Amino acid sequence: MRTARIAAAAALALTVWGVAAAPAPAETGLFGPSAEEQVRLRQAGMGMVLTSVTLLRGGSANAPSVKNLEFPAQNLANWARTMPALFGPATRDVPSRALPAVFENQADFAARAALLADGAQAMADAAKADDSQAFAAALASTRASCKGCHDSYQAPPPPPPKAD
Ligand code: HEC
């Protein structure tokens, strides 16, 4: 009974807080990833993108078949389609290597993410059809999409610490 009352009070408090507190729920961390979590998710995701592309390159180079690469390629495409959602407006103030241009040119940023998604989808389709030539072309356009976005939207890495 007491537990139920506490739960009801907590739910009410949350409701009131949800209405009264200004940031959109997706930015709070209570109902979705916080700004810091979005940054960590997208950075880890990008690391896994690099891992996937490395796997796809190795798996397709001189391989007799590309059939078993459909799964990693399809997942890369799926990730790329949703990835812009991890650049929510509140993440602008979190330290990261995303340049302010990401938040100023959202449509272009999304279009560049779509190039990655399209390249990866073409890889998945080529893998399904076991078409090595089409796979190689799609891999090349996927890899070009990385630089196409990073050149405009990713800050260069910090310089290595001085040895003195
Ligand atoms: C639509 C834009 C876009 C595309 C396409 C894109 N990236 Fe990125 N990438 C970024 C941005 C922006 C960052 C910086 C994110 C941050 O620091 O929060 C980044 C960061 C990274 C990082 C560093 C992650 C870390 O640990 O901080 C790696 C590695 C990376 N990208 C690999 C790739 C590879 C490989 C591809 C292509 C297969 C790719 N990216 C495609 C925008 C993009």
Residues 113-147: b if buried by 16+ CB within 10 A, e if exposed: bebbbbbbbbbbbbbeeeebebbeebbebbeebbe
Tens place of pLDDT per residue across the chain (164 aa): 454 554 444 444 444 444 444 455 445 557 789 999 999 999 999 999 999 999 999 999 989 999 999 999 999 999 999 999 999 999 999 999 999 999 999 999 999 999 999 999 999 999 999 999 999 999 999 999 999 999 999 999 888 888 77
Exposure on the CB side of residue 104, measured as CA atoms within 13 A: 6
CA distances from 157 to 3, 143, 160 (A): 51, 19, 9
Ligand 1 centre and the CA of 113: distance in Å?
10
- List the one residue out of 89, 78, 68, 85 whose CA is nearest residue 23: 89
Minimum CA distance residue for ligand 1 atom 22 = 46
Minimum CA distance residue for ligand 1 atom 25 = 43
- List the one residue out of 57, 42, 53, 1 whose CA is nearest residue 153: 42
Minimum CA distance residue for ligand 1 atom 28 = 46
Within 6 A (CB) of ligand 1 lie 39, 42-43, 46-47, 49-50, 53, 96-98, 102, 109, 112-113, 116, 142, 145-146, 149-150, 153-154
